[in-house]
């Protein structure tokens, strides 16, 4: 089972060229950062949220301008923590199609090299270059699509949690 999967991956990378390794690394980093955010939402954020609520509820006075500014600062810190790495995830989403374009260019260079050496009548010789031009493009776009949905989820989840925290910090004393 593992041998057939590794063979398929090796064959895919061989057909798509070395740029696929770069695309794989970018996508892996992006997915790793998304998973880190999801784990944060369900572990450390819960503790942080409860700590902020406890500190706010422990205050005797919550209506003054000063108390309002403290509340705003507490919420802002949580928002910063919630949206950590979101910018990096979005950057990696933008890098994916660029890496695919790099693969397209390197594949087309190979096609032009074959055409220069053998002429344009040898379609079989050009097929390898065309493959190296199209597979990275597809991989980069798939990575970007996955990243767009994942970054939208992470950003929405962070905004939702920040809004819920803001609503739970009452200003009634």
pLDDT band for position 172 (cuts 50, 70, 90): low
Own/partner long-range contacts of 69-75 (Cβ < 8 Å, ≥24 apart): 71/169, 71/171, 74/169, 75/162, 75/165, 75/166, 75/169
pLDDT one-digit tens code per residue, 25-73: 999 999 999 999 999 999 999 999 999 999 999 888 888 899 999 999 9
pLDDT one-digit tens code per residue, 136-169: 999 999 999 999 999 999 999 999 999 999 998 8
- For 114-160, strand residue ranges (E) read none
Domain extents in the chain = 2-50+89-157
CA dihedral (132, 19, 103, 128) in degrees, to 10, reads -10
Residue 100 pLDDT greater than 90, yes or no = yes
Which pLDDT score, from 0 to 100, does residue 27 have? 96
pLDDT band for position 173 (cuts 50, 70, 90): low
Residue 19 pLDDT greater than 60, yes or no = yes
Eight-class DSSP state of 17: -
User: How far is Cα 146 from Cα 68, in angstroms, rounded to an integer?
Assistant: 40
Answer whether 85's CB lies under 8 Å from 124's CB.
Answer: no
Which pLDDT score, from 0 to 100, does residue 38 have? 96
Q: Which residues contact 98 (CB under 8 A, 6 or more apart)?
A: 140
Tokens representing 145 are 């699509």
User: How far is Cα 45 from Cα 153, in angstroms, rounded to an integer?
Assistant: 16
Structure-model confidence comparison of residues 137 and 118, the more confident one: 137
Can you give the pTM of this predicted structure? 0.84
């Amino acid at each position: 089972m593992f041998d057939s999967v590794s063979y398929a991956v090796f064959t895919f990378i061989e057909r798509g060229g070395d740029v696929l390794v770069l695309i794989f690394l970018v996508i892996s980093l992006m997915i790793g950062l998304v998973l880190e955010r999801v784990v944060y939402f369900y572990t450390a954020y819960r503790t942080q949220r409860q700590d902020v609520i406890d500190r706010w509820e422990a205050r005797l006075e919550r209506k003054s301008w000063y108390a309002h500014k403290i509340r705003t600062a507490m919420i802002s810190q949580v928002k910063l923590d919630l949206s950590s790495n979101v910018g990096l995830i979005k950057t990696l989403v933008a890098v994916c199609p660029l890496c695919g374009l790099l693969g397209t260019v390197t594949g087309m260079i190979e096609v032009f090299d074959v055409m220069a050496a053998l002429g344009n009548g040898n379609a079989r010789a050009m097929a390898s270059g065309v493959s190296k031009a199209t597979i990275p493009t597809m991989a980069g776009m798939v990575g970007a699509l996955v990243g767009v949905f994942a970054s939208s989820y992470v950003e929405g989840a962070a905004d939702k949690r920040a809004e819920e925290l803001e609503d739970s910090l009452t200003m009634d004393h």
